[in-house]
Structure 1
């Protein structure tokens, strides 16, 4: 691999690590595995509630490596999945491997990190696709664990 390709690949990894570090900090933990699971679950539960067009526009805001995580396992023909807050919370908890009662703390923390890293307004346009009770889960003020 040429030095240019190596540097490009390292930049992709570095950018994903910046996001993971921010999620770790927002969650008030040193557990990068938890941060990765939480970010992945956030991306998947969010993506599956969006229309194909909105999901694709949102994905364009993600760094290359996280865009791969975002699209992993996506079935565009089956979205948007219509689920309420309880179903959303349960799915998030299952995918992130966290307790259901931790989801209302984790989701808004990850949302805040995503908001910091995407273009202004992009996240809000996607959040507009969510039912009010699910959107409210994303907008709560996060409180770090501890």
Structure 2
């Protein structure tokens, strides 16, 4: 991103790049594979967002860095959620949304992405998220 001389833009860009770097480092992906880490972030965020009730999705989205929040809300239709998914359906939806080969399994990808995001989500909000999804799915989340 070019120099905007606007601190909020630079801060959200830095936070987003930090999240993407954490995903890349977990997999040993070089920075040149940034599209892949972005696709992983998007696939997990959209699947989680669509599984949550509207109020909980909005509360989670409010805690994300501004740029990541934009990714989170892209394409969201609150009238069509929550989409009921069990653990296997959730993981399959992430897999179907991620157009790259996965090193390891889909559950590992979900955990890597959510671990990268956890620094921005309070423990209370994370507990709320896990309390509104099926226990078998909540147990699969970090």
Partner SS state of residue 133, structure 2: coil
**TM-score between both structures, scaled by the size of structure 1:** 0.82
Q: How many pairs align?
A: 137
The change in CA–CA distance for 1:113 and 1:3 in structure 2 (over 3 A counts) is closer
Aligned pairs (5 A) from 1:1-146: 4-5=5-6, 7-30=7-30, 31-98=33-100, 102-139=105-142
Question: How big is the shift at 1:3?
Answer: 5.7
Question: How big is the shift at 1:124?
Answer: 2.2
Gaps of 5+ in 2: none
Task: Report if aligned partners of 1:27, 1:106 keep a CA contact under 8 Å in 2.
Answer: no
Deviations 1:92-134 (A, max 9, x none): 0111124587202111111222222322322221122111222
Q: Distance in 1 between matches of 2:28 and 2:89?
A: 26
Task: Report if aligned partners of 1:27, 1:35 keep a CA contact under 8 Å in 2.
Answer: no
Partner SS state of residue 91, structure 1: helix
Task: Report if aligned partners of 1:93, 1:99 keep a CA contact under 8 Å in 2.
Answer: no
C-alpha RMSD of matched pairs (Å): 2.1
Q: Distance in 2 between matches of 1:3 and 1:84?
A: 43
Gaps of 5+ in 1: 140-146
Deviations 1:72-103 (A, max 9, x none): 01010111110122221111011112458720
